[in-house]
Amino acid sequence: MARKKISVIGAGNVGATLAQRLAEKELGNVVVLDIPITEGMPAGKGLDILQSGPIYGYDSQVKGTIDYSDTANSDVVVITAGIPRKPGMSRDDLLNTNAAIVKAVTEQVARTSPNAILIVVSNPLDAMCYVALKVSGFPKHRVIGMAGVLDSARMATFIAEAAQVSVEDVQTMVLGGHGDTMVPIIRYCTIAGVPIAEILKKEQMDAIVKRTAEGGAEIVKLLKTGSAFYAPSASVGAMVEAILKDKKRILPCAVFLQGEYGIKDLFVGVPVKLGERGIEQIIQLNLTVEERIALQKSADSVKELTEILRRQQVVS
């Protein structure tokens, strides 16, 4: 049986680390692409990852390239291309530059891999998903944003630290846009099935919610040059695995809502079932009035960015 093909567009920290994770999981053959001015960089990283195979025991083929023809007929394409955040820069500041990059990338991907499932990682995430959807012309179940998996993982890390338990027993759910307005749903957070409110105090949870929302900025501030890439690449890896193994996992992802949760024509993070078709089901949670208000506020912040893209005619 032929191996699946996964292409990663962008050979920076997120893209290269993701390529390594995908190869180690033996999810398929991996192509890592970057722009021509990077010369041999993607080829060098691809070869380096390939040569790790005998040590880690994987047979996935890994190739770095600057030629989109090498990505042709991919089953999954992950777009990580774009400039990273710098200290003091919000995701919104990235809008114009990264919209142009994601548009150009998506045009090439739609031409060379018309049946692929797209996973968008570039920031500002929800707006970049909108660009990818409109430019590709793909059906909405094949364009997915990686955000909620990462935000939920960050929240789980902080809960495990506070409760002094294994991260394996922590379940979290973060909805909304990928940014300061994200909406952690405390009622759905558990430790081995026990509601989090029975284990941690309210002030502890309030602090965790705040730190989760600022999770990316905290790492940017510490690194000083660049942004997070280990946890983001792990999050994408989980999504790719769910799709290529048809695992039907329930994961929070940015998807194009058409009335679900009272939101229309926007990419917003909600729980979905991920399988071989991409988004196979949108799970609609019973939210409280307060949670619905918070989710709508988050959606409104996403809407502002998409309206800017429309006014600038980046997308229709």
pLDDT of residue 219: 94
The pLDDT tens digits along the chain (316 residues) read 789 999 999 999 999 999 999 999 999 999 999 998 877 999 999 999 999 999 999 999 999 999 999 999 999 999 999 987 666 666 566 788 899 999 999 999 999 999 999 999 998 999 999 999 999 999 999 999 999 999 999 999 999 999 999 999 999 999 998 878 899 999 999 999 999 999 999 999 999 999 999 999 899 899 988 889 999 999 999 999 999 999 999 999 999 999 999 999 999 999 999 999 999 999 999 999 999 999 999 999 999 999 999 888 888 7
* CATH code for the structural domain at 5-145: 3.40.50.720
β-strand pairing of 143-145 with 117-120: parallel
pTM value is 0.95
* Ramachandran assignment for 58, one of left (phi > 0), alpha (psi -120 to 50 degrees), beta (any other): beta
Give dist(CA 214, CA 279) in Å, integer. Answer: 27
Tell me whether residue 178 is one of the annotated catalytic residues.
Answer: yes
**Parts of the chain belonging to CATH 3.40.50.720:** 5-145
Residue 315 half-sphere exposure, CB side, CA atoms within 13 Å? 26
Residue 287 neighbours by CB distance under 10 Å: 18
pLDDT of residue 314: 80
CATH class for domain 148-311?
alpha beta
CATH 3.90.110.10 maps onto the chain at: 148-311
Burial, 66: exposed, middle or buried (Cβ in 10 Å; 0-12, 13-18, 19+)? middle
Catalytic hit among 178, 231, 235, 302: 178
**What is the Cα–Cα distance from 165 to 62, expressed in whole angstroms?**
37
